[in-house]
């Protein structure tokens, strides 16, 4: 990546193994922020969920994860969507290691699936392989099938902590449904991040998610809650987008991170180069917005820190 396209807040650590000439746009070196993000007092586990598809779940998951990792934090992305789009955006080979299907169905330790993400010092991914599409059917007869991911994740986190390399963030990307895969993710987390596209149908999606969370709290995980809401695909020129944003601000004033993610071509282009927008074009409006969201998430994770509410799109 051309360093001229890097935001003023980022710096590149050169990689001696990178080729000098290439026909494709690739991540060169390791991107880091000049100002590190605060480390949480314990590992924060986020499930990125919304029953409606196409609202930017995967895009938000990978770009927020990348921004947190650029801020010096240890981040693990778990791709629980059989489509495997998070793997694509992070440049991870879905066929290189066992995947989440083996973790959920064959009891393979999560550590055996982890891959390092190119271009990041402390960003890792547990990939979704193609077989994951059949995981829900295979898990139907399992005992405690809703808590399989939770057990595997707790084991891996304990191993990391014992080795002195505790994870700071775990971000779980879910499929656009409220099936057994998503229920496993909700049972394993305390915090849910909900991307809301600035259209009416997305508001209906969050209503259904709230109903499901109520059932999860009663039966499986009393601690799970919606802690973070992000507005995606925001077009300030349209009345609908502004009306939806106002509705979300009114109903979820504490959960909303009021830094709307703009509808931007760079965000859509980045996965075709196996990158997040954070490395594809770190100076673009989409990257700057996601960086602002990540900074707010990190700030909220520090106990006792007074976090001022953000208003509008800001340069982090």
Report residue 284 as tokens.
Answer: 């673009």
DSSP characters over 103-160:
HHHS---GGGT-EEPTT-SSEEEE---GGGGGHHHHTTTSTTGGGHHHHHHHHHHHHH
- Say whether 86 sits in a helix, a strand or coil: helix
- Residue-level pLDDT at 199: 81
Classified by CATH at the fold level, domain 36-298 comes out as: Rossmann fold (3.40.50)
Residue 56: is its pLDDT beyond 70? Answer: yes
- Residue-level pLDDT at 244: 87
Rounded alpha-carbon distances, angstroms, from residue 89 to 133, 178, 279: 19, 23, 11
DSSP 192: E
**What pLDDT, in 10s, does the model give residues 129-170?**
989 999 999 998 898 899 999 999 999 999 999 999 999 999
CA pair distance 221, 249, nearest whole angstrom: 27
Query: Can you give the residue ranges of every domain in the chain?
Result: 36-298
For all residues of the chain together, what is the average pLDDT? 85
**What pLDDT, in 10s, does the model give residues 92-124?**
998 888 999 999 999 999 999 999 999 898 999
**What pLDDT, in 10s, does the model give residues 222-277?**
999 999 999 999 888 888 889 889 989 998 999 999 999 999 999 999 999 999 99
């Amino acid at each position: 990546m051309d360093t001229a396209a890097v935001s003023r807040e980022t710096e590149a650590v050169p990689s001696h193994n990178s080729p000098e000439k290439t026909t494709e746009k690739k991540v060169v070196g390791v991107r880091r922020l000049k100002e590190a993000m605060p480390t949480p007092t314990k590992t924060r586990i986020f499930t990125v969920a919304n029953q409606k598809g196409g609202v930017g779940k995967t895009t938000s998951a990978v770009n927020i994860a990348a921004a947190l990792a650029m801020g010096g934090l240890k981040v693990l992305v778990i791709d629980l969507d059989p489509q495997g789009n998070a793997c694509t955006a992070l440049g991870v080979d879905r066929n290189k290691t066992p995947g989440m299907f083996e973790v959920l169905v064959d009891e393979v330790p999560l550590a055996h699936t982890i891959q390092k993400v190119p271009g990041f010092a402390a960003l890792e991914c547990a990939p979704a392989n193609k077989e994951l599409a059949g995981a829900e059917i295979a898990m139907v007869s399992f005992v405690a099938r809703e808590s399989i991911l939770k057990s595997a994740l707790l084991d891996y986190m304990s191993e990391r902590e014992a080795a002195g390399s505790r994870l700071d963030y775990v971000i779980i990307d879910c499929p656009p449904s409220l099936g057994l895969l998503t229920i496993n993710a909700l049972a394993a987390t305390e915090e849910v991040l909900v991307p809301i596209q600035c259209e009416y149908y997305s508001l209906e999606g969050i209503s259904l998610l709230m109903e499901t969370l109520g059932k999860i709290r009663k039966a499986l995980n009393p601690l799970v809650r919606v802690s973070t809401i992000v507005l995606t695909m925001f077009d300030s020129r349209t009345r609908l987008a502004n009306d939806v944003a106002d509705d979300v601000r009114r109903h979820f004033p504490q959960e909303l991170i009021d830094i709307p993610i703009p509808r931007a071509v760079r965000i859509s282009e980045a996965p075709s180069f196996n990158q997040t927008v954070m490395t594809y074009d770190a100076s673009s409006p989409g990257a700057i917005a996601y960086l602002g969201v990540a900074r707010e998430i990190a700030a909220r994770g520090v106990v006792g820190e007074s976090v001022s509410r953000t208003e509008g799109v800001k340069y982090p």
